[in-house]
Amino acid sequence: MEATSGARKKKKVKKHKAPDLVDTSGGNLHSELMLEEAAQFDINEPTMEEKLASLDLANSDMVKSISEDISLMTKLPSADSVHVLLKQALNADDHVLLLDCLYTRDKKVIAKSISLLNPADVLKLLNSLTSMVQSRGAVLVCALPWLSSLISQHASSISSQGSSLQMLNTLYQLIQSRISTFGSALQLSSSIDYLFAEIIEEDEDEESVPPPIIYEDKDTDEEESEDAMETDEDDEDLGAVIDSHDSDGALAMSD
């Protein structure tokens, strides 16, 4: 009996210990899963808001750098830089580089660049500008301010050199030919402006005058139709009377 009771106690003890083992193993598995999840998701990782803020900051830095590059590219040339390019173009006889310099329209830059030229460069520039003035369009518009500043600043040095006489003569004849056509061109422009103003006034007058209103009287049309019907009836009656008289005369003659 004691042996059987001891065996039962052992069985009972085993039955009570088995759930404890299961519980401990289950707890270990749960803790391991928590550790794996914690390892997968870093607590120190930045939030979505922080990531978006960093992207905005990067974009703003990129936009700032691009704007700085554009400002550097579109920065107006200084007098020193234009003067250096102008001397290079005159010494190398580079027409394209000279045009790049002449596209500068700032009066201060033009005056400063021309004031730094030596007499030899002055004659070279005068020769180039004289040939450019003979053309038309944008090249002429760009060359005129440079030519005016060149003559006003270096008139004495230009006139003192004999080689400049032919260039000045060519330039004088060219200016006279342009001025001679200025009067007729001005008259033509005035006539065109006058005609254009008259056309505009006529259009405005036509728009201001309302179109004529035409009224149709239906009663007059009906009266005219009734009169026409009455005249037709009178003609028919007159024809019947004439026919009756003719028939009576014919009977009398037959008798």
DSSP 185-232: HHHHHHHHHHHHHHHHHHHHHHHHSPPPP----HHHHHHHHHHHHHHH
**Spatial contact of 147 and 133, defined as CB atoms under 8 Å apart:** yes
> What is the C-alpha separation between 56 and 49, in angstroms, rounded?
11
First-last CA distance in the chain? 182
Give the residue among 180, 110, 178 at the shortest CA–CA distance from 150.
Answer: 110
Q: Which amino acid is at 132?
A: M
What is the full DSSP assignment across 58-117? HHHHHHHHHHHHHHHHTPPPPHHHHHHHHHHHHHHT-HHHHHHHHT---HHHHHHHHHT-
Say if pTM beats, i.e. exceeds, 0.85: no
To the nearest 10°, report the CA torsion of 14, 18, 20, 24: 140
Give the residue among 142, 141, 140 at the shortest CA–CA distance from 104.
Answer: 142
Helices 164-180 and 119-133, packing angle to 10 deg:
30
> What is the C-alpha separation between 149 and 113, in angstroms, rounded?
10
The full set of domain ranges for the chain reads: 79-164
The pLDDT tens digits along the chain (255 residues) read 444 444 454 444 444 444 444 444 455 555 665 655 555 555 667 777 777 677 766 566 665 665 555 544 445 556 668 888 888 998 888 888 898 888 888 889 999 999 999 989 999 999 999 888 888 778 888 888 999 999 999 988 888 888 888 888 888 888 888 788 878 888 888 888 888 888 877 666 666 656 666 656 555 555 556 566 666 555 555 555 455 555 554 444 444
> What is the C-alpha separation between 134 and 175, in angstroms, rounded?
9
